[in-house]
Structures are given as C-alpha cells and as structure tokens.
Amino acid sequence: MSTLAVHDHGLVHHEEGHEHHHKATFLNTYVFSQDHKMIAKQFLITGITMAFIGMLLSLLFRIQLAYPDKSFPLLETLLGRFAPGGRLSPDFYMSLVTIHGTIMVFFVLTAGLSGTFANLLIPLQIGARDMASPFVNMLSYWFFLIASIIMISAFFVEKGPASGGWTIYPPLSALPTAMPGSAEGMTLWLISMVCFIGSSLMGGINYVSTVLNMRTKGMDLWKMPLTVWALFLTAVLGVLAFPVLVAGVVLLIFDRSFGTSFYLSDIVLNGKVMPFEGGSPILFQHLFWFLGHPEVYIIIMPAMGISSEVMSVNSRKPIFGYHAMVYSLIGITVLSFIVWGHHMFVTGMNPFLGGVFMITTLIIAVPSAVKTFNWLATLWRGNIRFTPAMLFAIGMVSFFISGGLTGIFLGNAALDINLHDTYFVVAHFHLVMGSAAIFGMLAGVYHWFPKMFRRMMDERLGYLHFWVTFVGAYLVFFPMHFMGLEGVPRRYYAITEFHQWDHWLNVNTFITWSAIMAGVAQLAFIFNFIHSIFWGKKTVQNPWNANTLEWTAPIEHVHGNWIGEIPTVYRWPYDYSKPGHEEDFIPQDVPFSQTMSSNLPHDFEDNPEGLEEFNKWTSTQKANEEVK
C-alpha cells in the first residue's frame, strides 16, 4: 500500500504541477533542465569529453615511455614550457599521470557511468515520473561540470596541474613547495574534488530516495532489474564512503594552508628542517583508501548491472540466478568497506592486521565469482544476438575475469609486497576496473542510445569500434604483467635510467603503438555517436524486444515519462523465451491473466488469487484435452 500511495502521490503532483510548468525555452530544456533524461545526456556527453581528454593525456606520457631519449619538436609547439626541447619535463610527466588517473577514475568511470545510467534508468525502470528531487538532481550535474572545469583549468596555471599520482599522497600533496605540481595545481585538484564529491552525494541521495520511495504499483524489490539494483547499491556505497575523502581533503588543506601537522612530521625540504611534528602520511592513506576501495566497486557495479541486462536481453534467456546476483551485489557492497588495507601492505602494517585484510580481500572474490558464473550460464545455449552492446557486455566479462584473477595475487600480502607499485598493479586495475567498466559503459551507450536520442547507432561502426578497442586493450595491458613480475616500477619517467630494464623498452614501444591504435578506434565511436544523434535511423519503441518498463514509455520524450497512468508491474524483468508463449519476451506490465499458456506455479508465489485462477484455467484445459 505504501508503494501505491507514493505512486499515486507522484502522479497527482505531476499532473497538478503540469499546468504551472515553466514555459519551455532553450535554457530550461537543454541547459538547466530538471528532467532526468536530459540530465543523463548531460552526464554522458561531459563524461565522454573528459574520457577523450584523459585518453589524450595517456597517449602523451606513453610517447615519453616509448621514446624516453628522443625529441619531438611538435610537443614543444603544443605544450610550450611543459615540453622544453621537444621532451616532456619530468614534473609535467607526473602531472599527466596524475590528472589522467583522476579523470578516468572519478570523472569518467564514476560520474560519467553512474551519473548517466542512474539518471536515465532508475525512474524509467522503476516506473517513476522523475527523481525524488529534480532540482537537486540538476545541481548534481552542475557541480560535476564545475569540478571538471576546475580540474582542467589546472593546466593553465603557472606551475602546472597537480603531481604525485591520483592518490595524492602526502608529503607531495601537503607541501606547496615540494614540487611544481604541489602548488596551485594541487589546490585546484582539491577544490575540484570537493565539488565532485558534492555532486556525487547529491546524486547518490537522490538515487537511493527514488528507488526506496517512488516505485510504481507492483514494483517490489524482487521485480527490479539488476541495473537498478546495481545503481542503487552503488549510490549507497558513495553516500557512505565519499564523506571520508572529504574529511581527508579538509585535513590536507589545513596542512597546506594553516600550518597543521595531520600528515606531516620530520620533513626536510631543500636542506631546511620544516616545523612539522606528530603527523603521519599513513593516516591519509587510511582515509583515502577507505573511500578508494569502495570506489573500485562504485565504478564496476554499474557496469555489472548494465552487462547483466544487456546479456539477458540479447541471449533471449532469463538471467541465471537472479537472487544470487542480487545477494552477490549486496555482499560486495558490505565487504568493500573492510578490505581497504590491502592497498597498504607495504606501509609497515602489523602482519596480523595484514592477514585480516588479506582474508577479507580473498572473501570478496566469492560474490564476484558468483556473478561471473551466472553471466556465463546466462550465455550458455542462448539464442545470442551479437549486437555491439552484446559484444561490449561480453568483453566486460572477459576483462573482469582476466583482470580479476591477478587480483588474487595482489590480495596476498606476501606477493603484494614484491609486486606493489610495479606495472603488474597497472595491468591489474586497468583490466578489472578500467577496461571492464569502460566496456560496461559502452554496452549501455549502444543499448540505450535509442531511448536517449530516439535514433539507432550504426552497427558496422559499432563492430569496428569493439574489435579494435578489445584487441588494443589487451595488447596494451597484458604485457604489463610480465614487466611487473620483473619489478619494473610504474610512474617512472624513463626506465632506461636503470640498465637492467633496457630490454623492456621495446615492449613499452609496442604498448604505446597499441594504445595509439585503440585511441584512433575511439574516433569511430565519436563519429558514430554524434552522427547518429542527428542523422541515425529512427528507432521503434522497443527495438530490442526487452521486458523492462523504459521500453513502454513513448519514443518522444515527455516530462513525466508516460502520458497518463504509469504502467503497473506484474512480473520480474527477465521473462524471455518462456515455453508456451508465442513471442520470446513478455514485458513486465503484461498481466499473468494474458499469458495463461506460459504461466508457471512459481509465478504466483505472492499472489494466491492469481494462483487460484491459474489452477482453474489448468483444470479447464485438461478437461478440454480429455474431451478431445
């Protein structure tokens, strides 16, 4: 009854407010829109823009790694003082690594992924008119955009953007005079991240409130698609974890600007003893990684939910083990808060405490393995349609498996101490987190593009984009495992300074050209995306024959999603290829009374009246067969 009451209230509120809705203008339709669908597009386009910038930064420092002793005059022309003589300066190299990591982890894989698909799918898939607070939802995007602009503006300050890695460990981040990237660029990094976290918290609270309070009639928790479950639990993670980073950043600002010593002690800078006592940089690591490891799952869980939906739709099969998938997401959400210490095995941690973190790290592999098994079982003997979205979803599973297996090595304290801060770590998290999440995001873009823009993307360009990106990603990151096993450290400006690693220079060159190849492939996606928005083939209402509620909404977007009454939900979202039904899909808003020949007794677990009606129908059918 409470769900029904909320639904009715939202409907009445919408219809009463419709008469007083502001007159549509360009500003309130496309810029300061409070419609969740437009906000989803804003997050997506901003996220793609930031991804393109992050990719360009990575190609710049990959050129330095491939050709550490060569000069490229074009670099000096483009970058000026940051590339004197045509070579990146060591300080600017560190800035590129830092801003690349920050952009990809936070601005693309957190805001770009969750911001896009939580805004688009949560109201549409649970049957809500909009988010619980459309105004706060709009603010969450604008805080994200402001954070993005501030982060990029650091390239235009005198000493350049922040350095020291995307984890901004003290003392490099706490002493403005430590290196050029510790000055104004680091200040802008901190301001940008505070704005970003504000955006994430506003969005997360909105997503949680919407899922709990605004589901349509019949939409109980066990009828929600796995995308909604993943986005809901991701929002819970963000709301609980991001404030800890805010606390860490505030203390860092105090150390930088007000002479406190939360993270600093016994510092000697340029031969001068600094007046800092009593602090510890390990405190910052605890605060950072208490967010940092849940952040890994904030990134990957939406990709898991998206891939689950895409694979079920395009396998024409029910998702295997729906309840196990939900419980595994819940398990990941809980366990992710008690594994952060595995990032800190080399800090001198007590071996007993390291053992505890090692055990919890290995335990969290169990729900991930459950999900992987269920994805493979969903694909098994399915009537698979290899759309671009399906290929990217399968690619996501491939990267999750290959990258996840190396996580078992790094979760073991004895091995991690040897592999920490080597290219093995780079390979691991770029496969399991970076590539897998990017592929999940791209699967969602190809799958829900018709719902967002009312047109279809070109499939041929989609296939080209997938295969070149898939092969390119493996060529880039897989060789790094072997570099890491020999101890080649990450973030080094030029490994040729250490002659024992000279033979890896050819591998670095190969990796760089593979990265350039994969980067060029993204141009096919950008062209396909922009061209399809304006000139793509117009879509039908339900192009994929999917069951979830968003495909029951009109093709033409309306503020409120549905004209008239919101559909009522009767069944779970994965009734595909059900025996006895003429078509291989049954949408969630189709009552069981209309599908008697395909109904099963367990369909009526919470519906005794429906079960009684089904039993009567079954008895009648048997009687008719006996007469025949």
Q: Is there a single domain that holds both residue 184 and residue 254?
A: yes
Q: Is there a single domain that holds both residue 116 and residue 62?
A: yes
Mean pLDDT over 436-442 rounds to 97
Residue 611 pLDDT grade (very low, low, confident, very high; cuts 50, 70, 90): confident
pLDDT at 15 over 90: no
Which CATH number do you get for residue 186? 1.20.210.10
Domain ends where: 485, 500, 535? 535
Report the number of distinct structural domains present in the chain: 2
Mean pLDDT over 564-570 rounds to 92
pLDDT at 614 over 90: no
User: Tell me, what's the pLDDT at 270?
Assistant: 83
pLDDT at 2 over 50: no
pLDDT at 7 over 70: no
Q: Is there a single domain that holds both residue 170 and residue 31?
A: yes
User: Tell me, what's the pLDDT at 22?
Assistant: 56
Q: Is there a single domain that holds both residue 601 and residue 530?
A: no
pLDDT at 390 over 80: yes
Q: Is there a single domain that holds both residue 311 and residue 448?
A: yes
Residue 369 lies in a domain: yes
pLDDT at 259 over 90: no
User: Tell me, what's the pLDDT at 205?
Assistant: 96
Per-residue buried b or exposed e for 227-248, using 16+ beta carbons within 10 Å of the residue's own CB: bbbbbbbbbbbbbbbbebbbeb
Residue 134 lies in a domain: yes
Query: φ, ψ for residue 146 (rounded to 5)?
Result: -60, -45
Q: Is there a single domain that holds both residue 328 and residue 459?
A: yes
Give CA–CA dist 151/111, Å, rounded.
Answer: 14
Residue 396 lies in a domain: yes
Residue 616 pLDDT grade (very low, low, confident, very high; cuts 50, 70, 90): confident
pLDDT at 24 over 90: no
> 481-512, pLDDT tens digit by residue?
999 999 999 999 998 888 889 999 999 999 99
pLDDT at 546 over 60: yes
Mean pLDDT over 233-260 rounds to 94
Residue 104 pLDDT grade (very low, low, confident, very high; cuts 50, 70, 90): very high
- Residue 161 DSSP SS3: strand
What is the model's pTM? 0.93
- Residue 536 DSSP SS3: coil
pLDDT at 321 over 50: yes
Inter-residue contact 394 to 351 (CB < 8 Å) = no
Q: Is there a single domain that holds both residue 509 and residue 610?
A: no
Mean pLDDT of the chain: 91
pLDDT at 528 over 90: yes
Residue 29 pLDDT grade (very low, low, confident, very high; cuts 50, 70, 90): confident
Nearest CA-CA partner of 400 in 331, 300, 321: 300
> 395-423, pLDDT tens digit by residue?
999 999 999 999 999 999 999 999 999 99
Inter-residue contact 136 to 208 (CB < 8 Å) = no
Q: Is there a single domain that holds both residue 412 and residue 502?
A: yes
Domain ends where: 535, 561, 591? 535
Inter-residue contact 360 to 335 (CB < 8 Å) = yes
Q: What angle do CA 603, 607, 609 make, to 5 degrees?
A: 115
Q: Is there a single domain that holds both residue 561 and residue 436?
A: no
User: Tell me, what's the pLDDT at 14?
Assistant: 42
C-alpha distance from residue 436 to each of 58, 283, 307, 309, 440 (Å): 18, 31, 10, 15, 6
Q: Is there a single domain that holds both residue 449 and residue 559?
A: no
pLDDT at 276 over 90: no
Residue 540 lies in a domain: no
Q: Is there a single domain that holds both residue 67 and residue 103?
A: yes
Residue 167 lies in a domain: yes
User: Tell me, what's the pLDDT at 162?
Assistant: 95
Residue 438 lies in a domain: yes
pLDDT at 540 over 60: yes
Decide which of 30 and 280 is more confident. Answer: 280
Find the domain containing 111 and state its range. 2-535
Residue 628 pLDDT grade (very low, low, confident, very high; cuts 50, 70, 90): low
